[in-house]
Amino acid sequence: MSADPAVAALIEAASAPYRRAGRFAWHFARGKLRGDPAFAAILREGLLTGSTCVLDLGCGQGLLAAWLQAAAVARRAGSWPRDWPPPPDPARLTGVDVNASEVARARAALGAAGQFVHGDIRHVDYGPADAIVILDVLHFIDYAAQEAVLRRARAALGAHGVLLMRVADAEAGLGFLLSTLVDRLVALARRRRLLKLFCRPVREWRALLTQLGFETRSLPMSAGTPFANVLLVGRLP
Ligand SMILES: C[S@@+](CC[C@H](N)C(=O)[O-])C[C@H]1O[C@@H](n2cnc3c(N)ncnc32)[C@H](O)[C@@H]1O
């Protein structure tokens, strides 16, 4: 349980809708939101503040949408931490995932709070967005496809858009090996096959974003976990 009461309340509120999607979905939501520092950091750092049209590529069961929805409700209810920037309250929140079960859980839990598309981020139309979030997804697609996705994300963003991207840093030693091991074990358990992953050092990810015109910064994003994850924030100047 988070020591920060505001975060603990958000975790409860964001997980609650998943009761509608079954026990697995609810437990998974609580476990992931409790253990993953990225969700609280996105709000605490105001990384999506002001975003009105958010696209979550590789959305899984829609946790980001649930999280942002809980944040907007908390703000309207007057229970938002005074020292945090305002949360976004997007008019449009779209998630895309290639896994039909994840999309079904997102739809069952969140209904009209988001639009959840069953599709491959390499092929679906992105439409316009002012924020694009890609958390722990790009290493599942090959290097050329990663670059194509980033080019299309850049094109989809408006003039002052933001791109949030979490990656494992391929130069980070044991933490990196552990994160890829977990991905491989999950794939083996779920799909009964060995997974090829396409990872890069953070400096290479940043160079790619810079080439596309983003100003980047990187925030370490694995506190409380044994991994070596980094949240890259790309802004269009
Ligand atoms: C580690 S999970 C992260 C889920 C979510 N971003 C989060 O942080 O909770 C990776 C997700 O990417 C999805 N994914 C992998 N390759 C994809 C692709 N080519 N198109 C769409 N989704 C993909 C998987 O189905 C999975 O739900």
Q: pLDDT tens-digit profile of 78-136?
A: 999 999 999 999 999 999 999 999 999 999 999 988 999 999 999 999 999 999 999 99
Q: How do residues 26-68 score in pLDDT, each as one tens digit? A: 999 999 999 999 999 999 999 999 999 999 999 999 999 999 9
Distance, CA 58 to ligand 1 centroid (Å)?
3
Mean pLDDT, all residues of the chain: 94
Ligand 1 atom with the shortest distance to the CA of 60: 27
**Per-residue model confidence (pLDDT) at position 2:** 65
Q: How do residues 175-233 score in pLDDT, each as one tens digit? A: 888 888 888 888 788 777 778 899 999 999 999 999 999 999 999 888 888 888 999 99
pLDDT bucket at 161, cuts 50 / 70 / 90: very high
Report which protein residue has its CA nearest ligand 1's atom 26: 60
Distance, CA 11 to ligand 1 centroid (Å)?
21
Domain boundary assignment for the chain: 5-235
Report which protein residue has its CA nearest ligand 1's atom 19: 120
Is the pLDDT at 1 greater than 60? The verdict is: no
Distance, CA 9 to ligand 1 centroid (Å)?
26
Q: What is the 3-state secondary structure (H, E, C) of the chain?
A: CCCCHHHHHHHHHHHHHHHHHCHHHHHHHHHHHHHCHHHHHHHHCCCCCCCCEEEEECCCCCHHHHHHHHHHHHHHCCCCCCCCCCCCCCCEEEEEECCHHHHHHHHHHHHHHCEEEECCCCCCCCCCEEEEEEECCHHHCCHHHHHHHHHHHHHHEEEEEEEEEEEEECCCCHHHHHHHHHHHHHHHHHHCCCCCCCCECHHHHHHHHHHCCCEEEEEECCCCCCCCEEEEEEECC
**Per-residue model confidence (pLDDT) at position 192:** 76
pLDDT bucket at 160, cuts 50 / 70 / 90: confident
Pick the CATH number of 5-235 from 3.40.50.360, 3.30.420.40, 3.40.50.800, 3.40.50.150: 3.40.50.150
Ligand 1 atom with the shortest distance to the CA of 32: 9
What integer is the mean pLDDT of 171-176? 86
